[in-house]
Amino acid sequence: MTDVRIAPSILSANFAALGAEVKAVLDAGADWIHFDVMDNHYVPNLTVGPMVCKSLRDSGVKGFLDVHLMITPVDALAQSFIEAGADLISFHPTATENIEETIAMIKSSGTKVGLALNPDEDVSLIEPYISSLDLVLMMSVFPGFGGQKFIPEVLDNVKLVRSMIDASGNDIKLEIDGGINQDTIGQAYAAGADTFVAGSAIFNTSDYKETINQLRASLST
């Protein structure tokens, strides 16, 4: 695989200067911007809503906005993020009453759609829907907080999902989120991931361009 994406997560950015932070990582070579949306109900933390997404668009941010919804219910807020300018919305199968209807609702707007799996969830949860997806998001930490350590056991499921995607014949991205840094990104890539969410590994450094370049270089090691 040569088609890979680095997606800095704004959860680790300086929110007092979020617009500048997002523009800085895009200028530094980031491919996507990742939103971690939490409701303090489905997961134990509260983060950002669609107004933040809209504000970034209104400020001139043109980059690909990758929104991961860790909320329930899904549909109403997904629609709000679509209207705010999200390019892709992922949600958890257990967070909605009707997975097919939620997928169809998101796709009907022209927005890309993904399903997300936690480290302890079976890949069979997404298998019936794989042909409808643009992305599968594998969590390599339990969602809720940034800066957690990578769970290597998730790599077995990444391999299974990669096989599932390849068998489908469709252009489906395989994203991994949680504890991704220079030490773990190569393992995730070798298992089949092609899109890498990194928060603190990027935003906690002083030179975003150098860090992103180092992450890309680590894919071949």
For residue 35, what pLDDT band results from cuts at 50, 70 and 90?
Answer: very high
The region of weakest confidence among 1-5, 140-144, 172-176, 182-186 is 1-5
Instruction: Supply the pTM of this predicted model.
Output: 0.96
Identify the active-site residue in 31, 36, 156, 166.
Answer: 36
**Looking at the predicted structure, is the pLDDT value of residue 220 above 80?**
no
Does 58 qualify as catalytic in the annotation? no
pLDDT score recorded for residue 144 = 72
Task: Give the Cα separation of 34 and 11 in Å (integer).
Answer: 8
Is the bond leading into 73 cis (omega within 30 degrees of zero)?
yes
Range 106-132 average pLDDT: 97
Identify the active-site residue in 75, 177, 194, 207.
Answer: 177
Does 194 qualify as catalytic in the annotation? no
Indicate the class that CATH gives domain 5-220: alpha beta
Instruction: For 80-118, write each residue's pLDDT tens digit.
Output: 999 999 999 999 999 999 999 999 999 999 999 999 999
